[in-house]
Structure 1
Amino acid sequence: MKKRLLLIFAAMFFAGNCAMYAQIVNEDIDNENEEEEVEEVEVPAEDEISLTDKEGNEEIIEFPEAMTYDLDSLLNLYMSKTYLAIPGDCEMKNENPTFSKEVYIERLSRIPSVMELSYNDIVQKFIDRYSGRLRYSVSYMLGAANFYMPIFEEALESYQLPLELKYLPIIESALNPKAVSRVGATGLWQFMLGTGRQYGLEINSLVDERRDPVKSSYAAARYLRDLYRIFGDWNLVIAAYNCGPENINKAIRRYRADKGRTENETITADDKDYWKLYPYLPGETRGYVPAFIAANYIMTYYCDHNICPMTTRLPSQSDTIVVNKNVHIEQIAGVIGTDADLIRSLNPAYRRDIIPGATKPSAIRLPIADVGRFIDNEDSVYNFRATELLTRRAVVDVNDDLPTFTRSSRSSYSRNGRYSRRNARNRGRGGASVTVRKGQTLSEIAKRNGTTVAKLRRLNGIRGNNIRAGKKIRVR
């Protein structure tokens, strides 16, 4: 039985090699059991891998930031707690089968793709990571795919782009719509502020359309289209999405210079071969295309690695109404009796819970059953706690655990705005600590302080994901 969410969520299903991405169920979900079952088997993530070439030289490759996210940050999302659950009829085995090189090559060749899905030792390392340490995060992403993949595919199809690009948000955000990187890249597609505005996304103090799954997906499709017009090679497009086109052009220039080619000579296909440019690329970007190939692999062959998708109960249908006055989400929830968190999940672009209808007509998405109640009680909604909710400002503690940007910290940012974890590791080892606030997770503390969950665990001897509010923990 199919259900469909108007505009934002579509109940489309995608066949994998042995099952749909996730089963659709209607029964209620026990959120506490869901988190406990997964937390017991979660393995701390690391943020890099090492490879040794035939000459014995070691290479360190950084994981994309989303591959270091702690599982609890994904399971604590409203959509996860409400609509996803551990599958009851699929045994999630801890055994991760290993296969021969020929099997991986053959499987990658069977994925319908116009893009080159190469196999090598680097790709294998990323496949091993997804099928091993990140297998429970993959289980989450397979379930969340029912929410987001239809949106991604529709946006990509509208610009006639390869549908395989729908897996970019796997390595950008781990399908976390609230993801914010250390440098401020935001949303499923991890747009930086400038690029988001360049591609038509509204971003201000009240609205951030990078958080909107639909609008950000169409903006990402336009950006990917433009990158392909520049490079004409999909591997370079994917790399440029990570590090910026200027860094790809710099890598091409350096490669050509090492080959003795002059600037007047025509750029050839050889000059735009990702694997030949590989040594000239920024550190994290070297792992980006291999991670993309591995994401395509694991989202297709998860069953062969004993990974069970989380079951999905699709949200009820929703629709939009337009408001011409400022209105707070808690005003709507308080009058029509709808869960405020549900309204927030349907309207992720409103960053401070205020829909700024007074500035320009603004749309608010509500469950269909609540649209009529809003219309019938619209005046009451606008008047409910208006002074309190529309004029209050958040109170923050100065010098608590908010990041401080100093001259030395600027060096951790590359020219293209990306954050280098390696540079960050080498700065400030003075043993700073923060106090855990109620409701905070390890992943939130790690992001706020420019570190990783794995390092917080090591510094503080923490096992698992549970931390006590009021406890002081070291962040470096």
Structure 2
Amino acid sequence: MKYFLLLLLPFLLSASLNFTSNHTKEISVLESFDIEASFLYDPIMNEMKNSNMTIYKDKRFFQAMNDAYLFIPAVKSILAKHDIPAEFLFLAMAESHFSAKAYSAKSASGLWQFMPETGKVYGLKIDEYVDERRDLIKSTEAAAKHLRDLHDKFGKWYLAAIAYNCGSGRLSRAIEAAKSNDLNTLLDPKKMYIPRESRLYIRKIVALAIMGNDEQFLLKSEYEHLLNRANAYSISTVRVPRGESLKRVSKLVGIPLGELQKLNRHLKYDFVPPYFDGYDIYIPYIKLSDFKQKYFEEEIQNIYKVHVVRGGDSLYDIGKRYGVSYKMIMDFNSLKSSIISLNQKLIIPIDNKANVEKINKGIYHLVKKGDTLESISKAYKISIKSIQLTNKLKGNMIREGERLILHE
């Protein structure tokens, strides 16, 4: 029996040390939200944490962490820059499961689920071309500033988190009614000082943060690589000229298009906006060197249509014909008003293959590696002879980078 106890002792000590270490980390998580240690015994939060640890062990928690590995370091860095506790990373998880394309029935969007009005207050651009609520970096900057403002107003991080959910006005009225900003008081289910959604919301963030800081949970889940992965990868910001296409960047730099699109969910089209000074896009950091070596600018990167204005044309009608808004035509052609003149040439960006097939007259095609006259003629349903005649080609030879006019 003594021999057995001696063998068992290291395991008991290890379990005890793990429990002590984990308990200390849980208290540390609470302290980061300015929450007292006694909240560890909140039954609703514990039930939420335990059920989530069972549910998320198979998929959701780790899938979200796995999908976000590229930008989590950037998010942590921005939070740290604004002196926001790192645990607020899990506010984004609670809001969107780290999905930049998340959209709610109340019109909130992006990683941090900004409403349009709040997003604009914090400098996020929402226009014909972009919705920067879905911009991983800019939306995180905006969220950090918003959280900092809420903390400055209420003085506690748990209050900032609650206000982020229900609004500062709603929380101010709740504190006034409760005559206290104590968390347990505000969470009173009978008095209902704050909405039920907000009472669950703060518990969910804390539960997720505790899970995300539980090394034993991660190690047991076969996702131990997440412990180091989040510190090993990141994204880089690069500026490209107006009208640049993600498809072209993908091919030039060797980044899978799906991965590039995932990092640039804020772009509403395949191309960047026609802003005069260009626009920032995001690429994996490990591809930055390739971008610097292989990327080069083209005057206009998209497939586009040159439309010659005819009698009776209006920007609205032209836009409807090509499947783009009249405002986009104005921006791409630097028009200050919607007035156009006869025989004026307008550049119409076309990012949709279906639109290209509908309007296959007067399209310009930039020859890519592997293109042949036969492959181009099949793609645009135009005869090889027509391409040869229009472009004054004497044979079937075409060169990479050559621009071909395609119309019957």
Equivalent residues of 1:143, 1:311 under 8 A apart: no
Correspondence for 1:132: 54
* 1:223 maps to 2:146: yes
Correspondence for 2:389: none
Kindly provide the CA deviation profile for residues 411-432 of structure 1, in whole angstroms up to 9, marking residues without a partner as x: xxxxxxxxxxxxxxxxxxxxxx
Q: Report matched runs for 1:210-359 at 5 Å.
A: 210-256=133-179, 271-278=180-187, 279-301=192-214, 303-304=216-217, 306-309=220-223, 311=225, 318=236, 320-323=238-241, 325-333=242-250, 338-359=255-276
* Cα separation, 2, equivalents of 1:138 and 1:302: 14
Correspondence for 1:50: none
Aligned amino acid, residue 378 of structure 1: E
What secondary structure, in the 3-state scheme, does the structure 1 residue paired with 2:55 have? coil
Equivalent residues of 2:79, 2:144 under 8 A apart: yes
Q: Report matched runs for 1:161-200 at 5 Å.
A: 161-200=84-123
Aligned amino acid, residue 55 of structure 2: R
Q: Report matched runs for 1:364-403 at 5 Å.
A: 364-366=281-283, 367-368=287-288, 369-375=290-296, 378-379=298-299, 382-387=300-305, 390-391=349-350
**Structure holding more helix per residue:** 2
The 3 A distance-change label for structure 1 pair 108 and 348 is same
Deviation for aligned residue 1:235: 1.4
- Which of 83, 100, 110 aligns to 1:160? It is 83
| RMSD of aligned residue pairs (Cα, Å) | 3.3
Aligned amino acid, residue 285 of structure 1: S
Aligned amino acid, residue 244 of structure 2: V
Deviation for aligned residue 1:333: 4.3
Equivalent residues of 1:331, 1:386 under 8 A apart: no
* Cα separation, 2, equivalents of 1:156 and 1:383: 36
* 1:204 maps to 2:127: yes
* Cα separation, 2, equivalents of 1:159 and 1:383: 38
Deviation for aligned residue 1:384: 4.9
The 3 A distance-change label for structure 1 pair 275 and 104 is farther
The 3 A distance-change label for structure 1 pair 336 and 385 is farther
Aligned amino acid, residue 341 of structure 1: G
Kindly provide the CA deviation profile for residues 445-470 of structure 1, in whole angstroms up to 9, marking residues without a partner as x: xxxxxxxxxxxxxxxxxxxxxxxxxx
Deviation for aligned residue 1:286: 0.8
Deviation for aligned residue 1:214: 1.4
Aligned length: 279
* Cα separation, 2, equivalents of 1:316 and 1:308: 22
* Percent identity of equivalent pairs: 25
Aligned amino acid, residue 257 of structure 2: A
Q: Report matched runs for 1:82-121 at 5 Å.
A: 108-111=26-29, 113-114=31-32, 115-116=34-35, 118-119=39-40, 120-121=42-43
Kindly provide the CA deviation profile for residues 330-365 of structure 1, in whole angstroms up to 9, marking residues without a partner as x: 344467765332332332321222211345421234
Structure 2 unaligned blocks of 5 or more:
1-18, 306-321, 323-347, 356-408
Deviation for aligned residue 1:105: 6.1
Aligned amino acid, residue 279 of structure 2: S
Kindly provide the CA deviation profile for residues 140-177 of structure 1, in whole angstroms up to 9, marking residues without a partner as x: 23434543332222212222222222221121111222
* Cα separation, 1, equivalents of 2:271 and 2:93: 29
Higher relative contact order (CA closer than 8 Å, sequence separation 6+): 1
* Cα separation, 2, equivalents of 1:102 and 1:307: 20
The 3 A distance-change label for structure 1 pair 105 and 280 is farther
What secondary structure, in the 3-state scheme, does the structure 2 residue paired with 1:132 have? helix
Equivalent residues of 1:142, 1:310 under 8 A apart: no
What secondary structure, in the 3-state scheme, does the structure 1 residue paired with 2:239 have? strand
Kindly provide the CA deviation profile for residues 109-153 of structure 1, in whole angstroms up to 9, marking residues without a partner as x: 254843216221011121022211222212223434543332222
With structure 2 as the length reference, what TM-score do the two structures score? 0.60
Equivalent residues of 1:172, 1:189 under 8 A apart: yes
With structure 1 as the length reference, what TM-score do the two structures score? 0.52
Aligned amino acid, residue 286 of structure 1: R
What secondary structure, in the 3-state scheme, does the structure 2 residue paired with 1:201 have? coil
The 3 A distance-change label for structure 1 pair 394 and 171 is farther
